[in-house]
Amino acid sequence: MNQSAYQALLATFTRIYRYEHLMALAGWDQAAMMPEGGNDARGAAMAELGVLIHNTLTDPALANTIAAAKTENLSADEQASLREMVRQWEHANLLPAQLVEAKTLAGSHCSHAWRTQRANNDWDGFLANFREVVRLAREEAQLLSKHSGLTPYEALMNKYEPGMTCAELDRIFGDVKQWLPDLIQQVMAKQAQESTLAAQGPFSIAAQRELGLDVMQKLGFDFTRGRLDVSHHPFCGGVPEDVRITTRYTEDDFTQSMMGIVHETGHARYEQNLPSATAHLPVGRARSMAVHESQSLAFEMQLGRSPAFLALIQPLITQHLGEQAAFSVENLAKIYTRVKPDFIRVDADELTYPAHVILRYEIERALIDGEIEADDIPTLWEQKMQQYLGVDTRGNYKNGCLQDIHWTDGSFGYFPSYTLGAMYAAQYFAKIRQQFADLDQRVAAGDLAPIFDWLNEHIWSQASRWETGELITRATGEALNPAYFKAHLVQRYLG
């Protein structure tokens, strides 16, 4: 019996997935385990693998197979699968192999050097590598833009959030900029009247790690298909069958590493619960990065910082870190909802976090669209941090424009995903709370099933079966509605 064109595509995209599996684990090792001297060889190996993936996707015969598959009598699920294959294929065919290789090499070199340069506050050293990353990102953006009709920045952003436009983002973020500054000031004034006990360290890294592992267990992480490690910048990597999450520790403060683990576990649970039957196909992948971030922020912000969840894990905190007055549930809730404009995005409180994202979006959009150059970033960063958060970053590159890893490898267009994800997460929980009026009591008692079951039914199991707008509408009954995000913040911080 002759193989159908669609079946031939399944075989090809399964092979691509296996290459991507190796690429993902090589990247995780590069960030978490690789010795210093291995970077050049690792970068070259990953570039070679990237070219292999690219060549497989751009094989001229694949175009004929796709054309033939479009004429076949496919089921609705198969049509969705073909749609996602075509999306990946079209993107690859717009980029020459030389550009793919050059981007991988430049990103690997810049990212590796950044780890030392950031620690040394060395903006000039970073800039020498970063200019090439920007040049190649602009080249990619122009190629994608010509095909799609999007602006160069939109073309890159659509790799992470398909369908999103700058006009829509400007509307959403413009609204946030109208009400967020006043809300921050109101909350800070309210909290100034309250007393909060700081947790007294030191907290050994070994104890923090054990605490994190126990919290991951509560959150349903499957340790037979994943692990926890350390990196300079917390992330979730690997593949659904082998999910790798990382955090970073400091002995004087356990709160950031623990909540970082909660955040990355949200990413991991999404990956681990994608449908196994299609995990090797584009349709079986996470829908978009904003949807991915909505999972981590559902875990960290909606669930993790709630008094109910803190009550659930408070015994674990005292078990691993000892008894102290700061570990009362009431005080832990104050610690995890303390609002204080500060330098670092990943350590930011829930309320000031969107300002960090909007700042990065505005800078990277101007950079990719050619309105500014890489040399201009520190000055713009200083201006916007002062304007949005009242924080002075002059000369402080380490805690300013060098703090994120995303730009080092050319991941421009990713940052909006964080605040979009926070908005999706607020919308999910509004719907979950409509269904379970006693959700907080259930969580405090250790019953997290209402949350996990809802996410599994509406998000995890759906993977990329639907376009993002359709996925959110099916899950919540309406399109993205940022009003849920504002309502959540007002209720949590002023309610």
Cβ burial, residue 16 (10 Å; 0-12/13-18/19+)? buried
* DSSP SS3 for 239: strand
* Nearest one of 336, 314, 350, 347 to 218, comparing CA atoms: 314
The C-alpha atoms of residue 251 and residue 494 are separated, in whole angstroms, by: 32
What residues contact 183, with CB distance under 8 A and at least 6 apart? 351, 489, 490, 493, 494
The first and second tokens of residue 336, run together, are: 């995890």
The one catalytic residue in 154, 264, 350, 364 is: 264
Per the CB < 8 A criterion, the answer to whether 31 and 231 are in contact is yes
- How many helices (H) and strands (E) the chain has is answered by 20, 3
The C-alpha atoms of residue 383 and residue 379 are separated, in whole angstroms, by: 6
DSSP 8-state code for residue 406: G
The C-alpha atoms of residue 365 and residue 49 are separated, in whole angstroms, by: 29
Please calculate the CA angle 93-95-100 and round it to the nearest 5 degrees. Answer: 125
Per the CB < 8 A criterion, the answer to whether 296 and 421 are in contact is yes
Per the CB < 8 A criterion, the answer to whether 238 and 429 are in contact is no
Question: How many Cα neighbours within 13 Å face the side chain of 390?
Answer: 7
What residues contact 224, with CB distance under 8 A and at least 6 apart? none
In this structure, are strands 242-247 and 236-239 parallel, antiparallel, or unpaired?
antiparallel
Per the CB < 8 A criterion, the answer to whether 445 and 189 are in contact is no
* DSSP SS3 for 242: strand
| DSSP codes, 144-197 | HHHHH-S-HHHHHHHHHSTT--HHHHHHHHHHHHHHHHHHHHHHHHHHTTS--P
Active site residue 264: yes
Q: What is the Cα Rg of the chain in Å?
A: 23
The first and second tokens of residue 306, run together, are: 């709630």
The first and second tokens of residue 338, run together, are: 């303390």
What is the number of other CB atoms lying within 10 angstroms of the CB of residue 448?
Answer: 19
The C-alpha atoms of residue 319 and residue 367 are separated, in whole angstroms, by: 48
What is the number of other CB atoms lying within 10 angstroms of the CB of residue 40?
Answer: 12
User: Quick check: bond before 378 cis, omega within 30?
Assistant: no
**Looking at the annotation, which residues are catalytic?**
264
